């Protein structure tokens, strides 16, 4: 019985199919909000699903000169990693399927695997746009990853644990956004960097490098990468909401808080112009890291760590 319910949880709810459906729904909300901010109509509600179905049905062209195993395998890894990370994250306000001390680090690393897969996929292809895009993807990975991780560790510091469920128990009583506002800002913007959303979309800036690392991808591979990004959007929003916005106590709180965050994210996408990759790196290492370190120092002082 226990095994059966775990299986169902992995396959359907709260992970698995629910997560895929949520990723499509959140992608639609993001696109629709952005369109409305830009005075456009935006896509219909089923457009992300239709895109995925269309891509899955299309022929996948494998270009000459690539390693076929990598070309086919990387999209699968790229989607599987965030789906695995979902097992440790309190989706829809329910307790994570698995939990152990230190699972925060595992979850964050699993979330980075998608970006690394995209970078590798771009390096694997021989096209120049893919190569330039891959370089930018990996450069960006090295710039936002540390501040993002440090920002998520802020609440962990208070909770005294690197176990997600323990941190959430603490954050349910404290809205960390009030005590650690700098950490919240860095975490949310780090999430935008992770997802390569504007203004951090230099790796896939269409006017410069076409589709960046994924230029050579079509059909199934592209669909899986896109799904992976959608999943990561949901997971990232969940993590930030759970850590900084007073936890996600139930399905209602989950949806309200993550959608509120998505509203902010879409608004930022609408009002900001794209950063060049050197500007992105400069922004993260000059301001992102400094903000988080200041936040850590403040937390440490206020907690009485100096005694």
Binding residues (CB under 8 A) for other proteins: these are 37-40, 128-129, 131-132, 198-199, 201-202, 205-210, 270-279
Query: Which of 29/245 has CB closer to other proteins?
Result: 29
| Nearest distance, CB of residue 111 and other proteins, angstroms | 24
Residue 104 contacts residue 167 (beta carbons within 8 Å): yes
Query: Which of 40/54 has CB closer to other proteins?
Result: 40
Question: How many other β-carbons are positioned within 10 Å of the β-carbon of residue 65?
Answer: 9
Query: Which of 239/277 has CB closer to other proteins?
Result: 277
Query: Which of 66/72 has CB closer to other proteins?
Result: 66
| Nearest distance, CB of residue 44 and other proteins, angstroms | 19
What the block records as the tokens of 22 is 């949520």
d(CA 134, CA 119) in angstroms, rounded, equals 5
Instruction: For residue 257, give every residue at least 6 positions away whose Cβ sits within 8 Å of its Cβ, in sequence order, or none.
Output: 241, 245, 246, 248
| Nearest distance, CB of residue 282 and other proteins, angstroms | 10
What the block records as the tokens of 157 is 């510091």
Query: Which of 39/173 has CB closer to other proteins?
Result: 39
> What burial class does residue 120 get, using C-beta atoms within 10 Å of its C-beta: 0-12 exposed, 13-18 middle, 19+ buried?
buried
What per-residue string of b and e applies to 254-266 under the rule 16 or more CB within 10 Å gives b?
bbebbeebbeebb
**Is the dihedral angle over the CA atoms 233, 237, 240, 243 positive or is it negative?**
negative
Query: Which of 35/56 has CB closer to other proteins?
Result: 35
d(CA 146, CA 153) in angstroms, rounded, equals 10
| Nearest distance, CB of residue 200 and other proteins, angstroms | 10
| Nearest distance, CB of residue 150 and other proteins, angstroms | 24
| Nearest distance, CB of residue 299 and other proteins, angstroms | 29
Question: How many other β-carbons are positioned within 10 Å of the β-carbon of residue 66?
Answer: 17
């Amino acid at each position: 019985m226990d095994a059966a319910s775990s299986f169902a949880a992995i396959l359907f709810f709260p992970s698995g199919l629910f997560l895929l459906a949520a990723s499509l729904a959140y992608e639609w909300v993001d696109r629709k909000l952005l369109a409305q901010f830009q005075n456009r109509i935006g896509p219909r509600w089923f457009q992300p699903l239709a895109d995925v179905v269309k891509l899955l049905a299309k022929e996948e062209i494998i270009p000459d000169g690539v390693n076929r195993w990598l070309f086919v395998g990387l999209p699968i890894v790229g989607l599987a990693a965030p789906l695995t990370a979902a097992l440790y994250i309190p989706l829809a306000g329910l307790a994570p399927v698995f939990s152990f001390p230190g699972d925060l680090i595992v979850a964050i690393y699993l979330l980075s695997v998608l970006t690394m897969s995209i970078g590798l996929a771009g390096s694997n292809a021989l096209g120049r746009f893919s190569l330039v895009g891959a370089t930018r993807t990996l450069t960006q990975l090295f710039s936002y990853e540390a501040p993002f991780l440090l920002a998520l560790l802020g609440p962990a510091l208070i909770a005294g644990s690197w176990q997600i469920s323990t941190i959430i128990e603490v954050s349910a009583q404290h809205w960390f956004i009030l005590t650690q506002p700098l950490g919240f800002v860095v975490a949310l913007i780090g999430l935008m960097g992770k997802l390569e959303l504007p203004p951090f979309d230099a790796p896939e800036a269409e006017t410069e490098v076409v589709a960046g690392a994924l230029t050579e991808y079509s059909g199934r591979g592209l669909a899986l990468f896109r799904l992976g990004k959608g999943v990561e959007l949901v997971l990232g929003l969940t993590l930030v909401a759970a850590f900084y916005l007073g936890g996600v106590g139930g399905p209602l709180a989950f949806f309200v808080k993550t959608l509120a965050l998505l509203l902010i994210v879409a608004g930022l996408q609408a009002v900001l112009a794209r950063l060049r990759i050197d500007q992105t790196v400069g922004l993260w290492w000059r301001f992102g890291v400094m903000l988080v370190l200041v936040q850590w120092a403040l937390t440490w002082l206020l907690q009485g760590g100096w005694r």
